[in-house]
Structure 1
Amino acid sequence: MNTRDIIALLLTPGVGRKNVYKILSQYGEEDLTIHHLKEIISNKFYKISSTDLYHFYEKSKRILDWAEKARIDIVDFQNTRYPSSLKAIDDPPLLLFIKGKYEFIKKEENCIGVIGTREPTAYGKEIAKMIGGYLAQKDIGVISGLALGCDTGAHIGCLKHKGKTAAILAHGLNMIYPNENKKLAEEIIAAGGCLISEYFPFEKPKNYSFIERDRLQSGLSKGIIVIETEETGGTMHTVNFARKQNKKIGCMKYSSIFNNYSTLKGNEYILKNMNSVPIKNYSDIDDFIKK
């Protein structure tokens, strides 16, 4: 099976990513024709006509052509360029759409995820920049989500110190969300970093896709560092994925003068209830990287 086969299967209604993974596990080494795939789908899921499957193959070709023109690599699960760290997580993406250079993400020990709320305190914004910059100085890649707030700070700090950073997006790579970070996305690519998505071009961001992409932020990282988060904030999804993936969790520990800020309630919870590492200074970050 090749990339076009995988795309066509993912486009086929009623099949889904997990079932495509099962098909790939069973038939991945075989050179399948459209007729063979039609039989597989019909036997395992529902009767599909050759005309309908041909339609998905044509759409698959258009996606491949679009990616080539847009200088976007499509890396499927079988490809040697696919990050090994993602193969180890539950429900790995079968396809990655990547714009930019991504050699630095192939080994999880080379990367740290830096995450947090979209609405941090002014102090938190600066901390995100400082940590992103410090990791860059240590030649550690920064993984984040290009969201406003802490993500933006981490990317900017990394770029300021000539580091490489990857932004994991919750939509197709034909667009940038939020629009305010379009220039930042361009700077990430120009500096030797990359944008990564598992979604087809022209797929818009949805609530579930932001949660899905969080598993990739932790999956690509040796560990994550939480800057600021509410107890029920979106950042907690990444934290929970990191726990399931047995990744290290670092969390900023702030002075008691910040106790009344809602965006730090999640930090208190993580430090109290999870097997996390409190981060108070650069020395703590050094220890976090080495362990």
Structure 2
Amino acid sequence: MDTFLKLYVLQNVRGIGHKTIFKLDRQKLDGIETGQHLYELVAELGSNNARIKTISIEEIMDLLDKAKKIAEKHDRLSIRTIHLFDKEYPDSFKVIPVPPIIIFAKGNISSLKEPGIAVIGTRNISPYAQKVGQRIGEIVAENGLTVISGLATGCDTAGHVGCLKAGGTTIAIVATPLDQTYPEENIPLEKQIIENNGCIISEYPVGMPGNPYFFIQRDRLQCGLANGVIVVETGHTGGTWHAINGCKKLGKPLGCFSFTREHYSRFMHSLGNKQLIEKNEAFALYDKVSLQKFLETCNTMPPVLF
């Protein structure tokens, strides 16, 4: 039985989380060949952990059937499945408190192992910040680093586009299944990313309904995969702050573009940059020199947690 099928079933049993799965005996997992074996493993895990829900053999078989259908759909769409025991699974994901058990990918999955910088920020980007975001993407690529972002409009798009303009590799971590593109206007950009040796990844299998919470979950993967994070433009609140706070918790370098007083007075959705810089919570980025100095601080990664 394919390991993906086993892990899909296990992670969908209430009470079985990433820590339990990480601690599984690989020989025992590899020895599972039937739904009955999976049922026995869940029962064994439940006997040692009261939080694991009692589940019937019929429910196990239903989950297994669902996993097989997902695998078939992904095969038809040329979507790769990568689980935490695969050699292709990025070690950098293991630094985050809740690493994904399974990820789905289109494109060059070897790019997931390359050092990279997350370029993030508001969807409501100002015209000048759009130019800044593209230039940051270019410089990151020129320094031999991958640009990591989320394919959203605004700052994400600027980072991806700048990287591609410089002939670099970029990765989009998205909050939808890989048979969808959000926003639809970025379908051509998604195609460009894949055609230029990049990769699109998601935690969500084909057929899963969308959920706003997935965007928050996606942000932790951006921080986990990246060596450092750059904020192009953000307000005092917004989704960007999930990634900013995740970056702080992981102890990774955080950079932030510094705008002029006039810009801050005209664009309220840039005031988060001002706040981060004034509180010394981020490296202030002004130009190519300051950006390259920041990139030099992003050479090391925290030790893995699991």
Question: Displacement, 1:36?
Answer: 3.2
Match status 1:199 vs 2:204: yes
Q: CA deviation at 1:15?
A: 4.0
Q: What is the alpha-carbon distance in structure 2 between the residues aligned to residue 169 and residue 146 of structure 1?
A: 7
Distance 1:111 1:23, change over 3 A: closer
Q: Say if 2:105 is the partner of 1:98.
A: yes
Contact 2:146 2:170 in 1 (8 A): yes
- Closer, same or farther: CA 115–87 of 1 in aligned 2, 3 Å: same
Q: Which of 254, 264, 268 is 1:249 aligned to?
A: 254
2:219 alignment partner, one of 198, 214, 217: 214
What do the CA deviations read for 1:122-163 (whole angstroms, capped 9, x no partner)? Answer: 001111111111212222100000000010111111111111
Q: Alpha-carbon deviation of 1:220?
A: 0.7
Letter in 2 for 1:229: T
Q: Could you report, residue by residue, the CA deviation over 1:3-62 in whole angstroms, capped at 9, with x for unpaired residues?
A: 2100122344x245xx25403413333122422321343452233222221111111111
Give the drift of 1:71.
1.2
Deviation of the 1:192 alpha carbon? 0.8
In structure 2, C-alpha distance between the alignment counterparts of 1:290 and 1:74, rounded to whole Å = 33
AA at the equivalent of 1:86: F
Residue 279 (structure 2) aligned to one of 265, 273, 284: 273
Q: Which residue matches 1:8? A: 9
Matched, 1:49 2:47: no
The one-letter code matched in structure 1 to 2:11 is L
Unaligned runs of 5+ in 1: none
Q: Are 1:287 and 2:293 matched, yes or no?
A: yes
Q: Distance in 2 between matches of 1:102 and 1:287?
A: 28
Report the residue type matching 2:60 in the other structure: L
Partners of 1:70 and 1:15 lie apart in 2 by 31
Q: Aligned residues, how many?
A: 286
Q: Which 5+ residue runs of structure 2 have no aligned equivalent?
A: 47-51, 298-306
Asked whether 1:177 is paired with 2:175, we answer no
Question: How far off its partner does 1:258 sit?
Answer: 1.1
Residue matched to 2:88: 81
Partners in 1 of 2:257 and 2:220 — Cα distance? 21
Output the amino acid matched with 2:121: G
- Residues of 1 paired with 2:97 and 2:238: CA distance? 22
- State the SS of the aligned residue for 1:286: helix
The two structures, once aligned, show a CA RMSD in angstroms of 1.6
Structure 1, residues 237-259: CA drift from partner, whole Å, max 9, x if none? 10000011111000000111112
Give the 3 Å change call, closer, same or farther, for CA 72–274 of structure 1 in structure 2: farther
The yes-or-no answer on 1:26 pairing with 2:32 is no
In the aligned structure 2, how far is the partner of 1:23 from the partner of 1:140? 32
User: 2:228 matched to 1:223?
Assistant: yes
2: CA distance between counterparts of 1:286 and 1:29? 46
Structure 2 counterpart of 1:79, which letter?
D
After TM superposition, the score normalised by the length of structure 1 is 0.93
Shift of 1:203: 2.1
**Does the 8 Å contact 2:18/2:98 carry over to 1?**
no
Q: 1:70 is aligned with what amino acid?
A: L
Shift of 1:274: 4.6
For residues 88 and 29 of structure 1, the distance between their equivalents in structure 2, rounded to whole angstroms, comes to 25
Whichever residue aligns with residue 244 of structure 2, its letter is V
Q: Secondary structure at the match of 2:229?
A: strand
List aligned pairs for 1:141-180, cutoff 5 A: 141-180=146-185
1:72 to 79, 100, 106: 79
Supply the distance in 2 between the matched residues of 1:155 and 1:204 (Cα, whole angstroms): 26
2:244 equivalent among 239, 247, 258: 239
1:171·1:202 contact (CA, 8 Å) conserved in 2? Answer: no
> 1: distance between equivalents of 2:277 and 2:180?
36
CA contact (8 A) 2:15 2:53 kept: no
Structure 1 residue 80: Cα displacement: 1.1
